[in-house]
Structure 1
Amino acid sequence: MARITRQSLRAIAATFCVTAILSVSTGVASATNEMPPPVAPQAVSASEADPERFEKAEKICDTYVRRTNDQTGDTQVIGDTCSEDPALRAGAERIKAQRAPVVVLVEFWSLPDLEGLVDRVYGWSGPCDPVGYRFSNLTTMNANLGGIRSYVAANLCYGQEIWTNPNFAGNLRRDTGYYHPWVGPYHDGAVRSMKVYAYPVIG
């Protein structure tokens, strides 16, 4: 019988570690946003996913919405605030942290590639579910930014639909995934209503 030495045990352990590492999926998203939905997507706070985005933002706005109908996902804007002062931004973050289940639903950016001004939309009804949130009129967000040209979804809002007119009219674009560096030629600066929801949709 072959004798097991310390050297052979180390070799076995190294082989096991390499195999385990190679078996882990990196979860890289498709650049075309056509990636199938994850089996069990994790809640992602947009403001925590990449804090460096906000260091370069010229202005940060926070808009708060609540769901007025849990069957349809209709929402109402209940307040918004904007600041160019980093100290005030940090204070606002501390306040939000104490107001669970308030979460980031989507970040709207005024320029492509998540540049320029940003408006973070917070949902007072928690993360997205299959019903999601319906924004029938994005006047507040557009006024804060001068138009929406890119966005990041968060907190299970893996499916999105955007329209060029209020009340879910005009040109429709459907997206899946979290990061959208450009809304496309038809919606550039013209995102005026939106739905966000957990994917896949039920019903």
Structure 2
Amino acid sequence: MASLLAAIFTISTPLSAHAESGDQYCIITVTKEAPGSPEAKVIDNSCGPTREAAAAKRPAMRRNVLLAELFQHTNQNSGVGGWRADLVADSECDSAGWGFSNIVRYNDAVGGISSYRTFAQCNGSAIYSEKNFKNLCGIYSFQWDVNVPWSCNDHVYSMKLYKSY
């Protein structure tokens, strides 16, 4: 299992590699670390020049639930294009939510996260400028589209997504 995870994390490439390969779209597939735990475990990371090309590389899953889209630019890349990545899971958000304690590679893969959009009942989120949920930059309730504040722009290194009540 350790070699599988090492291989998955090796696939996620820095910004310069995306420019060379033409891959501007990645789909990061996660599952819960343990039942009832909010911590997410990456099980696949597929990239391609388009969403369709990246999706074609993914393994078949019982369920594919889009949790969030991560964008290189503010306003969800509106009108300017740019790199993006999807966080896909096998279940929707609940009150325990999903915890991503280290998304440095995904931040780097999209050229720095400047905005994101949530789905699947993930109407609450918290973002941090350090790994392991340190240095809180913002908590958002009942917001689907979020522009990252200046204090965290281009360096969202951990994140929580959950269902707000």
- TM category, shorter: 0.7 to 0.9
Match of 1:101 among 50, 63, 75: 63
Letter in 2 for 1:128: C
Q: State the secondary structure of the residue aligned to 1:114.
A: helix
Offset, 1:143: 2.6
What is the distance in 2 between the residues matched to 1:76 and 1:90?
19
The answer to whether the 8 A contact 1:163-1:194 is kept is yes
What is the distance in 1 between the residues matched to 2:32 and 2:105?
16
Bigger proportion of residues as strand: 2
The answer to whether the 8 A contact 1:70-1:131 is kept is no
Unpaired segments of 5 or more residues in structure 1?
1-57
Q: State the secondary structure of the residue aligned to 2:108.
A: helix
The answer to whether the 8 A contact 1:64-1:122 is kept is yes
Q: Say if 1:90 and 1:168 are closer, same or farther in 2 by CA, change over 3 A.
A: closer
Structure 1 counterpart of 2:86? 120
Unpaired segments of 5 or more residues in structure 2?
1-22
The answer to whether the 8 A contact 1:104-1:120 is kept is yes
What is the distance in 2 between the residues matched to 1:85 and 1:105?
18
Structure 2 counterpart of 1:110? 72
Offset, 1:101: 2.1
The answer to whether the 8 A contact 2:124-2:162 is kept is yes
Q: Say if 1:85 and 1:148 are closer, same or farther in 2 by CA, change over 3 A.
A: closer
The 5 Å alignment of 1:141-156 reads 141-156=106-121
- TM-score, structure 1 normalization: 0.62
The 5 Å alignment of 1:106-185 reads 106-115=68-77, 116-124=82-90, 126-176=91-141, 177-180=143-146, 182-185=147-150
Q: Say if 1:68 and 1:89 are closer, same or farther in 2 by CA, change over 3 A.
A: closer
Is 1:73 matched with 2:38?
A: yes
Q: Say if 1:151 and 1:87 are closer, same or farther in 2 by CA, change over 3 A.
A: closer
CA-to-partner distance for each residue in 1:61-83, whole Å, 9 max, x for gaps?
10111111333311111221211
Offset, 1:107: 0.5
CA-to-partner distance for each residue in 1:127-183, whole Å, 9 max, x for gaps?
111111000000231131121000000000010011110000013310121112x21
What is the distance in 1 between the residues matched to 2:52 and 2:40?
30
Offset, 1:87: 5.5
